[in-house]
Structure 1
Amino acid sequence: MPPVISDADLWSEMKSGSEKAFSSLFMKYHVSLVSYGKSITQHHYIVGDCIQDVFADIWLYRKTISTPDSVRAYLLSGLRKRIARKLERDQIFKHATDIEHVEFSASFTVLDELITNEEMRSQVTYLNAAINQLSPRQKEALYLRYYQQLSVDQIAEMMQMNTQSVSNLLHRAIKQLRNLWKGEIPQLMILLVLTHCLSTDV
């Protein structure tokens, strides 16, 4: 098994001009970026172009950009901003002025083949329905926290909110889910739903 190269090392090699490292970063995060991009715009045809633009800028300015604390957060944030600018430029949202107008639109649905236990399937189905009752910003915060595994600080920067507001958003989302669930929700079940049951109606 080949050794696992860290994001920091790949980024450093990319900055030095390694096309292989650049390609590795693209391949590593492409699926996550497509998933997230299609979650924040119904205009799925622009997502691929926006991802290409993000990586094109990285390669073009590789000598001057600094190494981010989290490559994943950097790429997701860059894609979010790129999509917002694209939507504004194309006047899809005529009054859009910033990424506040980018709205998380994915829904969560059970993938039956991943769940063989009938009781678990019933519980996950119920949790899916509960999550889909949350606001778009609550769903996006949960998605970024549990699926993309970003820190609260990173989510705050991406969503242009302060850290306390993101903490409150996550707290209210979990509280709302618990109220609908009528009890404690196992974190493993939330992870199962957010990791395996994301649907963007592709």
Structure 2
Amino acid sequence: MFNATMSLYDTYTDGELIQSLKNSDEAAFTEIYHRYWKLMFAVAANKLNDLAVAEDLVQDVFADIWNRRHTIAVDGPLRAYLAVAMKYKVIDARLRRSRITAHESRAAEMPEAADHSLEQKVHFDELRNKLARLVADLPEKARLVYQLSREEGFAHREIARHLQISEKNVEYHLYRAIKSLRIRLGQIFFMLVLGLFLFASTY
């Protein structure tokens, strides 16, 4: 029975699979996975040169699709939709790798600190973690634009090329991100960001 069902889904178009997925059809989801996981894995592995991370990203993309199955909106080919989803996951992975490398470099170069310096570092880490949690809650494009701009130092033109959007869209998403963070952090927003910048520049 299962094999007969799966062979039936083999004949479905991508659009039909998406419609079935919206009704929590696990067989449709499984067919989408089998139809596209190799392509997704190849894209991630080629971009990151790390097979283990690529495999994790494939699982993340499909987990996101299942979690958003009731509201998923695929405008255009499913292949293109999945490629864009993977592109954002790859960018996220690169950002995480970049932050880890930068943190390890600063830690390696940091001399033995006095007690007050350690207290400052603890305070800095708390502020940075608070901001990171709020940034993680931003809408996906706003979060990526903010991270590329404020954390990686990319110019608007570079971000636009990286995300394949216009510079106007970059400005919009950055404005949206900063506005959201300012509202959620209140008056301490600019003090927090300035404090992070000044403290980080000393290491």
Q: TM-score range by the shorter chain?
A: 0.3 to 0.5
Specify which structure has the higher proportion of helix.
Answer: 2
So what's the TM-score if we normalise by structure 2? 0.45
So what's the TM-score if we normalise by structure 1? 0.46
Q: Which has the larger radius of gyration?
A: 2
